[in-house]
């Protein structure tokens, strides 16, 4: 289903992901990202993302561009961002879904 929505977004909005330096991307703290009651569930999610990265699949983050701070706030993809940071990636693909 997620793949279908991603493809639909690209087709309808003619949206293409662009690569942004990780130091310009920031998590949205008030969304409670990376918080799990069950540590095993968290580890499973991270392991699945790492496997996707190993297979060459970098599902873009959805971000909002904050013009005042010149940063991109994550709307969807906090776990992918965490793995990309842990892996030392310099940049990551994003879909800009709005502006502040």
Question: How does pLDDT run across 30-53, given as a tens digit for each residue?
Answer: 655 666 677 788 888 889 999 999
**pTM of the full structure:** 0.76
pLDDT value of position 14: 47
CATH of the domain at 80: 3.90.1530.10
pLDDT value of position 43: 86
Q: What are phi and psi of 9, to 5 degrees?
A: -60, -45
Buried b (16+ CB within 10 A) or exposed e, 62-75: bbebeeeeebbbbb
Q: Answer yes or no: is 85 within a domain.
A: yes
> Per-residue pLDDT tens for 48-66?
999 999 998 889 999 999 9
Cα-Cα end-to-end distance for the chain: 29
Q: How far is CA 46 from CA 13, 65, 80, in A?
A: 30, 26, 8
pLDDT value of position 26: 92
pLDDT value of position 10: 54
Domain hosting 80: range is: 18-99
């Amino acid at each position: 289903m997620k793949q279908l929505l991603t493809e639909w977004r690209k087709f309808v909005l003619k949206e293409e992901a662009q690569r942004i330096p990780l130091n310009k991307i920031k998590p949205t703290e008030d969304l409670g990202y990376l918080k799990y009651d069950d540590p095993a569930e968290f580890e499973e999610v991270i392991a699945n993302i790492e496997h996707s990265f190993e297979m060459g699949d970098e599902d873009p983050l959805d971000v909002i561009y904050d013009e005042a701070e010149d940063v991109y706030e994550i709307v969807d993809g906090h776990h992918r961002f965490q793995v990309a940071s842990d892996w030392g990636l310099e940049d990551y693909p994003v879909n800009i879904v709005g502006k502040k």
